C-alpha cells in the first residue's frame, strides 16, 4: 500500500518569510495529492491539491509542486502571516481505491 512521509515535523518562520513542507510517497500509481490545514482545535480543511498530470499549482500565497519521478511533492507558503500558524497535512491517493494516506503533519509557527 501507499506510504507517505512528511518533513519537517515542526517549522518556525518569521512573519513575511517563506515556508516549505515536503512529502514523499511510495506508490508511483498515486495520482492525487491534497494538502490540508488544521488550526488548533478545528477540523482539517483542504487548502490546495494537485493531480499527477500537473507539475505546479498556485493559489495566491500558496503553491504545490509535484515531482513524479522522485515521488515527492511540496507545499510552499510565501509572505507568511500569523494566521498561517497551524498543522499542515499532506496526503496521497491510494491507487484503485477512494482512500487517502496522510502524512504525519507539520506544525508551522509564524513568529510576529
Partner 1 sequence: NAGVTQTPKFQVLKTGQSMTLQCAQDMNHNSMYWYRQDPGMGLRLIYYSASEGTTDKGEVPNGYNVSRLNKREFSLRLESAAPSQTSVYFCASSEQIRGSEQYFGPGTRLTVT
- Binding-site string for partner 1 from residue 16 to residue 55, where x marks contact by CB under 8 A and - marks none: ---------------xx-x-------xxxxx--x-x----
Q: Answer yes or no whether residue 109 interacts with partner 1 by CB under 8 A.
A: no
Q: Report how far Cα 86 is from the mean position of its chain's Cα atoms.
A: 12
How do beta strands 86-93 and 100-102 pair?
Answer: antiparallel
* Other CB atoms within 10 A of residue 85 CB: 18
Site size toward partner 1 (CB under 8 A) is 24
Q: Answer yes or no whether residue 102 interacts with partner 1 by CB under 8 A.
A: yes
| Contacts of 105 by beta carbon, 8 Å cutoff, 6+ apart | 6, 9, 38, 87, 88, 89
| Interface with partner 1 in residues 53-72 (CB under 8 A) | none
Binding site for partner 1 (CB under 8 A): 6, 9, 31-32, 34, 42-46, 49, 51, 89, 91, 93, 97-105
Amino acid at each position: 500500500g501507499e506510504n507517505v512521509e512528511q518533513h519537517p515535523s515542526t517549522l518556525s518562520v518569521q512573519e513575511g518569510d517563506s515556508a516549505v513542507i515536503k512529502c514523499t510517497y511510495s506508490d508511483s500509481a498515486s495520482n492525487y495529492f491534497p494538502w490540508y490545514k488544521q488550526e488548533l482545535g478545528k477540523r482539517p480543511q483542504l487548502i490546495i491539491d494537485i493531480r499527477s498530470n500537473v507539475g505546479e499549482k498556485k493559489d495566491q500565497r500558496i503553491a504545490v509542486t509535484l515531482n513524479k519521478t522522485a515521488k515527492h511533492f511540496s507545499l510552499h507558503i510565501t509572505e507568511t502571516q500569523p494566521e498561517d500558524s497551524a498543522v499542515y497535512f499532506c496526503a496521497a491517493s491510494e491507487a484503485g481505491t477512494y482512500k487517502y494516506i496522510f502524512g504525519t503533519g507539520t506544525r508551522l509557527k509564524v513568529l510576529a
